Amino acid sequence: MQLTERQQTQLDLANLEGAYSGWAGASAAGQYRTGTAGIDRLAALQASGEFSVIADRKVRFTVVPMGVFLNSGLLDTTSGTLGTQPVLGTLTGNAIDPPQQQFATGVGGEIQMVTKTFSAAAGYTPYEFLVSNLIGRARWKPGNGHFTMYGGRDSVKETQLSWAGLRDPGSSFTNGNIWGGVVETGGGVRLDFGSEKSAIYVQAEGADLTGFHVLENRKFDGTTGASFRVRTWKDAGSLNVGATMFGEHFNHNERGETYGLGGYFSPNTYFLAAVPLTFTGHQGTYFHYTVSGGAGIQTFQEASQVYFPLDVPIQTEFASGCTTAVAGACAVFPVNSMTEANYSLDARTAFQATDHWFLGAFVRANNANHYDTVSAGFFVRVTFRKEFPAAHYPTGLFSVEGFRPVKVP
């Protein structure tokens, strides 16, 4: 039915009021990362709530408590296939007694403040983890223009070791020495030009990575990309295609999970080139979705690394029993390189069930760090003001991570 001019004006005003609503909600997600059980495999469950309010249509404040459960699986040393090198802490892969399975669970969260040009957050990693850390981040886009500066401190969430810390099952102490819990502290800059129809961006950043009894590391990376809208379907959606290139460098290789290393992918050189596709659409006025996928190629080289960079006596002990004829190769992770195909998928949906309630789900998958990672979850949000359904706004595609926007999405 065609609206009169007065009815359209009233609807526009109602949509404007609803755009600055507060909301409350909850989300849950599961993640699985491939790898060797007990070492670099990771299963994670996260559940969070949130409460968000806005002041004077300019500043949004959001509280996000979060519960986390982590498990890397049970390490099997009985087969002896992992050899005599240390695979976890100071424990060798052919140890007679397999170690007990280690879990990590706890509650953390953060508080956010967001405006149209500046955002900041402060929080704490789950305090029941073996290693807990203060976290936070900020982002500034002067004049809401092309230039963005950002920085922060956050957990490296690749493995249970890097995220929560582990106990060394080979330690002589009853409970085992603790190490891990890596945090990345740094920042970067980004330049964006264009619009939804065509855009280009360049980004560069650097960071320092530290952890409890973990070798300090540094990384530098850069990204450039472009996207173009190739077609729009009336009352259905639009398709964008692009290209992206990413390069990265770490000072030290810390993928190993020996005592003193962080257990995260940190190649000396890494390069990724991919072609992403994004379709953003809707079905009627109540159901919205976006699907992004990409394919490309990635190549990397990992530098050699001693088993125990922070403990010379332990390193000397392991090296003394080495029988290799290659000089300098005792008790060392060797240089490793690989070139392989890359893929990524990110799909999100939202359904407006009533004037106040939104339901949504998401699934993601990629192999960007040489491991296959898949995650999926759902969310529910209730807004404090009425949201009138429309084809293009609101979409109801609420974020379950990162900064919450000033306006209802």
Which residue, 22, 24, 25, 26, is CA-closest to 53? 22
- What is the per-residue pLDDT for 54? 96
Local structure of 363: helix, strand or coil: strand
Which pLDDT band, with edges at 50, 70 and 90, does 324 fall under?
A: low
Local structure of 214: helix, strand or coil: strand
Query: Which residue reads 């190629």 in tokens?
Result: 297
* Rounded-to-10 torsion of CA 183, 156, 164, 401: 110
- What is the per-residue pLDDT for 323? 57
For range 279-291, the mean pLDDT: 95
Which pLDDT band, with edges at 50, 70 and 90, does 163 fall under?
A: very high
pLDDT digits (tens, 9 = 90+) for 384-408: 999 988 888 899 999 999 999 999 9
CB 47 within 8 A of CB 28: yes
- What is the per-residue pLDDT for 117? 97
Burial 92-106 (b: 16+ CB within 10 A, else e): bbebeeebeebebeb
Quick one: tokens of 250? Answer: 């770490």
Interatomic CA distance for residues 408 and 288, integer angstroms: 14
Interatomic CA distance for residues 259 and 264, integer angstroms: 13
CB 276 within 8 A of CB 246: no
Domains, in order of start, for the chain: 5-383 (2.40.160)
The mean-pLDDT minimum among 7-16, 207-216, 247-256, 298-307 falls in: 7-16
Cis peptide before 394 (omega within 30 of 0): yes
**220: Cβ–Cβ under 8 A, 6 or more apart, which residues?**
204, 205, 206, 248, 249
Which pLDDT band, with edges at 50, 70 and 90, does 283 fall under?
A: very high
pLDDT digits (tens, 9 = 90+) for 213-236: 999 999 999 999 999 999 999 888
Query: With pLDDT > 70 as the criterion, what percentage of the chain qualifies?
Result: 95
Side-chain-facing half-sphere of 254: CA atoms under 13 Å: 30
For range 247-268, the mean pLDDT: 97
Q: 175, exposed or middle or buried, with CB in 10 Å at 0-12, 13-18, 19+? A: exposed
β-bridge mates for residue 273, sequence order: 245, 297
- What is the per-residue pLDDT for 326? 47
pLDDT digits (tens, 9 = 90+) for 88-145: 999 988 888 888 899 999 999 999 999 999 999 999 999 999 999 999 999 999 999 9
Interatomic CA distance for residues 59 and 118, integer angstroms: 9
281: pLDDT strictly greater than 50: yes
278: pLDDT strictly greater than 80: yes
Number of H-type helices and E-type strands within the chain: 3, 21
The torsion region of residue 171 among left (phi > 0), alpha (psi -120 to 50) and beta comes to: beta
- What is the per-residue pLDDT for 319? 84
For range 282-303, the mean pLDDT: 96
DSSP of 267-289, one letter per residue? -SEEEEEEEEEEEEEEETTTEEE
Interatomic CA distance for residues 240 and 228, integer angstroms: 5
Which pLDDT band, with edges at 50, 70 and 90, does 373 fall under?
A: very high
